[in-house]
A and B are shown apart, each in its own frame.
Chain A
Amino acid sequence: MRRRELLKTVAGLGAFALPGLGWTLPGWPRASWVFSAVDDTEGRHYLQAVSIEAGRAFRIAVPERCHGGCLRPGSTQAVLFARRPGRSLHVIDGDARAEVARVDAGPGHHFYGHGVFETSGRYLYVTANRIEDAAGLVRVYDAERDYAHCHDLPLDGIGPHELRLMPDGRTLAIALGGIRTHPDYGRAKLNLDVMAPALMLLDRESGEITARHSPSHHQLSCRHLDVATDGTVIAGYQYQGAEWERRPLLARLSPQGDFTEIELPGPLTDELRQYTASIAIARSTPRALITAPRGHRVLLIDSRDGRLLASHHLPDAAGARCDGQGDFLVSSGRGGLYRVGGDGSAPQALESLAIRWDNHLT
């Protein structure tokens, strides 16, 4: 107990005693802003940027609720995406503290809320819905040509959600939710009986689907994921079936391509209420953090074998990302921003703002 307290204190001091170190991430060593979609207490929508070590923050009003985002390598830009069934992506420049571009999903399309750049920072890959036939797509944009739309990569499936780039720089790991929606029907789910979710790998150059792994039940909607530096993928599900059934809520794809599902202790699975939000894997240690806002929990697992290492109460836990130093940043819909130790230590409050942090931190 005492040693744990001590470790916590040291970790806390360490984070603040080294100003200017920034979040060390591949492709963007000095990125110091954390971005997120937020709502204020009146329900107005913003894109929030916070620099914790510099104690700075700014926000930009947007017309619709936004969702996930991604950093553009080699720049101070980040892109945040409208939440399903939103139609816009917003390019934010951290230095300029301004929205520098806004791109529409195009006629007959909407975004699902996530995207990712390839390592050069030129091409942006965004999950989208072709509304007419509910075809799931990855739309490709060229950041060097004012985010002009280049082409689409079809996924042969419905409802792609989060996607990440694999360490080979060429393969996209995509969480295919499988849920059919239509903007005219709001957020109603229209195909719950015949869903076909998957964890997919897509060659972004050839467009070939190189792997498609199906969850153990057709109503396990595969929604969020992160990729470790060794190529391990951890994915989070949201189960659409009966709440009293106990289903796995996490999956793992090994660097060798073996797909398995992670069993958490039964009572903990029940507490999560069939729902996971964000997945973040540490860069240099085999640790993955999962947020579960319905269960008001964050979980820490060993990304090598899925073993549960810690489970903390954190009200309305939402966004998560690694901080580049082995720990994680986690946001809460109640306004708090926390550091959660990669050593299993409990969340420490860093900031508390009068806002509702939305699902993801970038």
Chain B
Amino acid sequence: MFKRLGRLGLAALTLATAPLLADDDAPQARERWHQAIDQRYGVLVDASERLEASADRFCEQPDTSHRRRLTQDWLEAYQAWQAVRFVDFGPIEQQSRAWQLQFWPDRKNLVGRKMQAWLAADQPPSAEQIADGSVAAQGFPALEYLLFDDAMQDDEALTHPVACGLMRAIANHLADGTSALRRDWQRFGDHYRHTASYTGATLHGALLALETLEDKRLGSPMGLTGGAPNGYLAEAWRSGRSIRLIEGTLHGLEDTFLPGLKTLLARRGEAALADDFREALDRTRRRAAKMSSGLAPALDDGAAFSELQGLHVQIGQLRHQLEEIGGTLGLARGFNASDGD
């Protein structure tokens, strides 16, 4: 009995049903994605290094212009991260790197609590101590606390040696982390290019990024997902830069995800779908760019809130559009694939 079944089993290996994406006709798309993501990780590394240098300069000479520059560099690096945040596979998955860069959501204000604990110490931590400590105190939200929290608004607060040392340690850890991330992305290249299931994974990452944008980054603080509106559920509420981060994500999808998608669709004779998606993405990004930067203040302002609603609707449409594209390409939506246990 088993002998016969064994032979049938081998037949099944070769006859397994093959949907569109399982036929690997997509190495060119992955090649483009790998390059585009590599460039974007490069932008993140450069921005993180500028932020680190800016933190050092400010601590050595804490004047208004250095402070302004520091804030600007923080935002640019944070936006550079948003642009590649849709990549939720590969080296970003190692050592909880995505959490290290951005601990969010943070319903228990762990960022605030951990930063207060570090600030109460006699000595600032080293970058190694930051690396070994809480993930909530390692990334952009931790720096945001130092730059924007109410407790830090006194002119002297950030120039205090402990606060400045803490900021430099975090910025140092962040710059080290992003450059290791990029190095690993390059090492990951052959595997990514040669493994067919990463086509689906990349599409899925972009789709999940739009879902997260619609439901969690916008819908949840706006009170559209069940609870009451709550500005503290927004990202970057301390700095009031929530919409700037959303803009960063849309920019990244356009710049980094779209080229590979277009390659994929063009091979199926569906290039028009990619053009439609690009137009919608571009329209949504330009809309976000024109909006004021904060989300929480818009919750109490009728006109600003309807702007937010408009953005929310457009992002929902983008998501729907990408779902349709996924259907055309035979993408298997991964409920268990993306967040199993």
Contacts and interface: CB of A to CB of B under 8 A. Distances in A.
Contact of B16 (A302, A313, A357): A313
Given A242-B188, A344-B8, A185 B136 contact: yes
Q: B13, B108, B196, B201 — which one has the most chain A CB atoms within 10 A of its CB?
A: B13
A7 to B, nearest CB: 7
Nearest to B194: A270
A275 B9 CA distance: 23
A4 interface: yes
Contacts of B337: 275, 293-294, 296, 316, 333
A270 B195 contact: yes
Contacts of B187: 242, 244
Interface residues of A, number: 59
At the interface, is chain A mostly helix, strand, loop or mixed? loop
A212 B136 CA distance: 33
B336 A318 contact: yes
Interface string B97-109: 0010001010010
A188 interface: yes
B191 A241 contact: no
Contacts of B192: 244
A188 B99 contact: yes
B96 A243 contact: no
Interface in B155-213: 184, 187-188, 190-192, 194-198, 200-201
A322 B195 CA distance: 31
A190 B12 contact: no
A189 to B, nearest CB: 5
Contact of B334 (A185, A192, A243, A316): A316
Contacts of B333: 315-316, 333-334
Contacts of A294: 197, 201, 334, 337
Nearest to A241: B94
Contacts of B6: 302, 309, 344
A93 interface: no
A161, A273, A315, A316: residue with the most chain B Cβ atoms closer than 10 Å:
A315
Given A188-B135, A270-B191, A316-B333, A242 B91 contact: yes
Chain B: interface secondary structure?
Answer: helix
Contacts of A139: none
A73 B65 CA distance: 72
B16 A311 contact: yes
Interface string A224-247: 000000000000000011111000
Q: Which of B9, B16, B22 has the most CB of A within 10 A?
A: B9
A243 B8 contact: no
Nearest to A300: B9
B279 interface: no
Contact of B12 (A189, A273, A310, A318): A310
Contacts of B96: 188-190, 192
Contacts of B91: 242-243
Nearest to B100: A188
B9 to A, nearest CB: 3
Contacts, number: 156
Interface in A344-362: 344-347, 356-359
A346 B340 contact: no
Nearest to B334: A316
A359 B12 contact: no
B17 interface: yes
Contacts of A342: 5
A328 to B, nearest CB: 13
Contacts of A346: 12, 15-17
B10 interface: yes
A344 B332 contact: no
A304 to B, nearest CB: 10
Interface in A303-346: 308-313, 315-318, 333-334, 342-346
Interface in A261-318: 270-271, 273, 275, 277, 285-286, 293-296, 300, 302, 308-313, 315-318
A345 B13 CA distance: 9
B11 interface: yes
Contacts of A193: 95
A184 interface: yes
A273 B5 contact: no
Nearest to B339: A187
B197 A113 contact: no
A315 B332 contact: yes
B12 A83 contact: no
A160 B263 CA distance: 44
A108 interface: no
Given A188-B135, A242-B91, A333-B334, A4 B16 contact: no
Contact of A345 (B8, B188, B194): B8
B90 A243 contact: yes
B301 interface: no
A84 interface: yes
Contact of B197 (A295, A309, A359): A295
B336 to A, nearest CB: 4
B302 interface: no
Contacts of B184: 242
A224 B94 CA distance: 21
A7 B190 CA distance: 41
B341 interface: yes
A187 B98 CA distance: 12
A188 B95 CA distance: 10
Given A270-B194, A346-B16, A359-B340, 6 more contacts: A188-B135, A242-B94, A277-B340, A318-B335, A356-B336, A357-B335
24 contacts: A188-B96, A188-B99, A188-B135, A189-B96, A223-B341, A242-B94, A244-B188, A273-B198, A285-B2, A286-B2, A293-B336, A294-B201, A294-B334, A309-B9, A310-B9, A315-B19, A316-B334, A333-B334, A334-B335, A345-B12, A346-B16, A347-B17, A357-B335, A358-B335
Interface of A: 1, 4, 7, 39, 67, 83-84, 113, 161, 184-190, 192-193, 223, 240-244, 270-271, 273, 275, 277, 285-286, 293-296, 300, 302, 308-313, 315-318, 333-334, 342-347, 356-359
3 nearest CB pairs, A to B: A344-B9, A333-B335, A315-B332
